[in-house]
Structure 1
């Protein structure tokens, strides 16, 4: 039996593709998360249906709870044997302890979004492990680190074609099946304008609302897909209410009609780029000083995404 571990909805989409290309091999699915909501539950259920056995746990950052969860994972998985292991979050402490508790023949990795190709991400940095982490590793028996798992990975499954990744040996996965893409007469009919929500300003809801309202008015936005972290509500736009993430939603709803997707710097648009003549993508450049966000804009430019500067 194989083991596959996911922590996000996007990872579930990738996991489904991995399971598809191993049709005669049973899978034990694991879903770990720091949040619980309808969208997450929807994708968790999807992964469970693909697996012969399944385990789920919500993670917490408090030290005592973290230690309890590590011990729970060790007792649950201790001594289990797997042929192949597939995972994305090789930096996660609890996942490293889970791997330390089992035996396996082969380790494979897959993407955790653009962190795998943006060189400023934590996957490319040397781990800075403090004394507490070293003591936990020692006394509870963590045999792995980010670097060890990178070196151990046999194959890395990626959704980013022709990009260098954290693992040299990559296999490309196309998230969008050909039967989801249809051609229409793109010369006729108005495109539906969609804005992807993104709480850019931490703990400054009023600034996020003001920016979104400005964009909605300027670009004649028809539909708004809120980000899971948003705590605020906009009044001047129709919300998209769906349990689907963008990659699923856009091809379910816009296979036969045109749409234009606006984002600030959400990497989700990369996954729908050039997949259908029905779908246009545009990025709105805002004033940010976070190196990861700036590097995302640079990545957009390399991919030929239309970037519209809305800085004042």
Structure 2
């Protein structure tokens, strides 16, 4: 009989990685239990849950109001009544993860990336224990026996999007990509995806609409099918002349679907974390966009990419395009 495996998921990106891990390990539905938690009512999170739920024999969707001790009591009760021998998770300092580990008898621990937090030197995952004294004492009342140091020591393997970088959780790294290999695609064509940003925040010195006009001008130079994905909080629902994707999917999931459809993808963005998460795929060419006032973000992103062993395919300055100096075509 195969051991029962508890997967703990807290974000849409984690859901995509869980989907790939189950595929890579050839796990059956009967082996897998899902605990999916959210802190807000969010359509993107609901979509992520619905996407991976069919992969599990048993699934629990928990809305956390972040009020102690209610959520800790609920988690302790739930995990104590579940039968599992292995725990898979990304959020290594989540109360739910720590309590799930503590409710099992010496469970096998398998970790995976939580976005860029695993390679950022400023992340809490880079700290020694990852818990404040207050949180540690609060969870101890519910039987918690785990912290970051113990998780690092006991993790059997760690699935990472960034195998070329030092990982804050483990050195037992197993490379993983959200996007399947090119040989898994039925097509070898390509398309372009432009990721939106919070334009007013990113370019406060520009007149409203100015950066969008430059982006439209740039997009008109691209060959083939071009798509635009607005930032979920931008309020910008479209760009003139570009096909807009209206979806509850996160950027990484949209990229996966386009790769499945076209085979290859040229990805353009203003130093989006999604570009970093997708950077190791052989099927994606990563282009970083920049303009006046955005240089600091560009430097930060390129440094992070270098640490992750990722090299952008190109850096495109929209100011140069606006002045008539041109930009590369895909």
Equivalence for 1:171: 174
* More deviation, 243-252/43-52: 243-252
Equivalence for 1:261: 267
Q: Is the 8 A contact 2:110 2:157 kept in 1?
A: yes
- Specify every segment of 5 or more residues in structure 1 that has no aligned partner in the other structure, as ranges: none
Whole-Å Cα distance in 1 between the matches of residues 75 and 184 of structure 2?
40
Q: Deviations for 1:245-281, whole angstroms, at most 9, x for unmatched residues?
A: 33332343354387542111113224165533xx542
Whole-Å Cα distance in 2 between the matches of residues 239 and 195 of structure 1?
9
TM-score (norm 1): 0.80
SS of residue paired to 2:118: coil
Q: Does 1:51 align with 2:56?
A: yes
* More deviation, 263-272/48-57: 263-272
Equivalence for 2:315: 307
Q: Is the 8 A contact 1:288 1:294 kept in 2?
A: no
Whole-Å Cα distance in 2 between the matches of residues 6 and 269 of structure 1?
21
Q: Deviations for 1:201-242, whole angstroms, at most 9, x for unmatched residues?
A: 7699997965752542342365321233x0523554443112
Q: Deviations for 1:263-304, whole angstroms, at most 9, x for unmatched residues?
A: 11113224165533xx5421124646989x754321335522
Root-mean-square deviation (Å): 3.4
SS of residue paired to 1:250: helix
Match of residue 9, structure 1, among 8, 12, 23: 12
How is 1:53-72 mapped onto 2 (pairs within 5 angstroms)? 53-61=58-66, 65-72=67-74
Q: Is the 8 A contact 2:197 2:270 kept in 1?
A: yes
SS of residue paired to 2:59: strand
Between the two proteins, the alignment pairs up a number of residues equal to 299
Whole-Å Cα distance in 2 between the matches of residues 195 and 257 of structure 1?
17
How is 1:167-246 mapped onto 2 (pairs within 5 angstroms)? 167-177=170-180, 178-180=183-185, 182-184=187-189, 192=192, 194-199=193-198, 210=209, 212-220=211-219, 223-228=227-232, 230-234=233-237, 236-237=239-240, 238-246=243-251
Q: Deviations for 1:53-81, whole angstroms, at most 9, x for unmatched residues?
A: 111112234xxx24211111111112544
What displacement does 1:117 show?
Answer: 2.2
How has the CA–CA distance of structure 1 residues 212 and 116 changed in structure 2, closer, same or farther, with 3 Å as cutoff? Answer: farther
SS of residue paired to 2:108: strand
TM-score (norm 2): 0.76
Whole-Å Cα distance in 2 between the matches of residues 74 and 96 of structure 1?
10
Whole-Å Cα distance in 2 between the matches of residues 88 and 2 of structure 1?
14
Match of residue 39, structure 2, among 27, 34, 38: 34
- Specify every segment of 5 or more residues in structure 2 that has no aligned partner in the other structure, as ranges: 221-225, 321-330
SS of residue paired to 1:224: strand
SS of residue paired to 1:248: helix
